[in-house]
Structure 1
């Protein structure tokens, strides 16, 4: 199963908390489904469950900037799908 290089903390460091979400006090988890290629790059992603206030877009941006360890099947790298939760907490 692919893992983000730098762990979930690495993704969290890439998050830019949207100003509108800060002012509105929006907090929670955004769940993103990402498709990872054989090299560990994110080739597409979509929000499965969002919280609004610009957080969904910020989560997608962070996921696209993240490199993953490639998924493997029978020892060979393959394309895979993963779901990642991104925490927004004030």
Structure 2
């Protein structure tokens, strides 16, 4: 019953895709009336397939929203699954931010191709605080996706989430937004949509790059 902002829509078997805008709408040119749309949202690792069968308009219901099953953690992390004590970086959010700012890079090939947008990375914090199963929930293609996975996978350890006094494995997601400085396209509708997706995570990670010469 609510608008799904930032849902990713991809034509199955192709690289053609888009994302829903701040009103939950999307428009997409498809190669065939028989195309199949693969639709996913960064709040879940599942996706659904919709066969167009000649339809010009589709209305998709992604699923029931469950507020009690996710929570915003600190600066930009969303915790999926109910825990009594949410996981957190062992050295604190400030040190985590220092690690990110010092180590994350805007890939040269992405700057050359003017690739911009919001990558959403999902990962698990295990009972011993190590990071595991890092994956792309929402990608923008190319080396930006790889860089987002690299920076999370190689990051510091965490204090695990807890249910009662018992450490548990917890699923987390984080938005990493890649923006080219000085690009006039940054104010376009597409980039506004990308920012809206990142804003859902609170103070998300923003990587600013300059176009390759």
TM-score (norm 2): 0.39
Q: Which has the higher helix share?
A: 1
Structure 1 residue runs without a partner (length 5+):
none
Deviations 1:21-44 (A, max 9, x none): 111222222101101111221121
Q: Is the 8 A contact 1:21 1:54 kept in 2?
A: yes
Which of 108, 113, 126 matches 1:19? 108
Alpha-carbon distance between aligned partners in 1 of 2:131 and 2:143, rounded to the nearest angstrom:
21
What stretches of structure 1 move > 6 A for 4+ residues in a row?
A: none
Aligned length: 90
2:91 pairs with 1:2:
no
In structure 2, C-alpha distance between the alignment counterparts of 1:12 and 1:49, rounded to whole Å: 21
RMSD: 1.8
Question: Is 2:120 the partner of 1:31?
Answer: yes
Aligned to 2:136: 47
5+ long unaligned stretches in structure 2: 1-85, 180-208
Post-superposition Cα deviations, 1:56-89, rounded to whole Å, max 9, x if no partner, equal 0100011101222311110222111101112222
The equivalent of 1:71 in structure 2 is 161
Between Structure 1 and Structure 2, whose CA radius of gyration is higher? 2
The structure whose RCO (Cα within 8 Å, separation 6+) is larger is 1
CA 1:6/1:88 → structure 2, altered by over 3 Å: closer, same or farther?
A: farther
